[in-house]
Amino acid sequence: MLMRTDPFRELDRLAQHLMGPGTWSRPSAMPMDAYRDGDQYVIAFDLPGIDPDALDIAVERNMLTVRAERRPLPRSENAQTELSERPLGVFSRQIVLADTLDTERIAADYEAGVLTLSIPIAERARPRKISVRSTGERRELDS
């Protein structure tokens, strides 16, 4: 038998139970971090227990959609549930990407329950130096 002592975890479990599992028409949210690392943006999603085949990543115009489904683990017929806190169902997140990102070259990696997307910054949006001509050079070119 398992004992729980954290009342806040119990409230979280109750709220999740009342909302029910996520469905394809009403998915649950998934936590994420996003940051810039040099010439790319990185987005990391927490998706523990998700089979890589149950991940669906799509980009339409500048809308990135990540969907995942966590199914129950197979159990024997004699198994009796003592505690069930791990959320099941469908999880989804949509993010509007800036025009400055190269959505044609998104890379996705999944390791240890974390889905990491690396999105390069488009060449046209990267900082570049602009050379300045002196007015004397311009007059010589015009002649």
> The pTM is what?
0.69
Tokens of 142: 């015009």
pLDDT value for 1 = 39
pLDDT value for 87 = 78
pLDDT value for 129 = 86
pLDDT value for 63 = 92
pLDDT value for 104 = 93
DSSP 26-75: SPBP--EEEEEETTEEEEEEE-TT--GGGEEEEEETTEEEEEEEEPPPP-
Tokens of 17: 């139970």
Each residue's pLDDT tens digit in the chain (143 positions)?
344 455 655 565 555 555 555 555 556 778 899 999 999 999 999 998 899 999 999 999 889 999 998 888 888 999 988 887 777 888 888 999 988 899 999 999 999 999 999 999 988 777 778 889 888 655 555 55
Tokens of 48: 């523990």
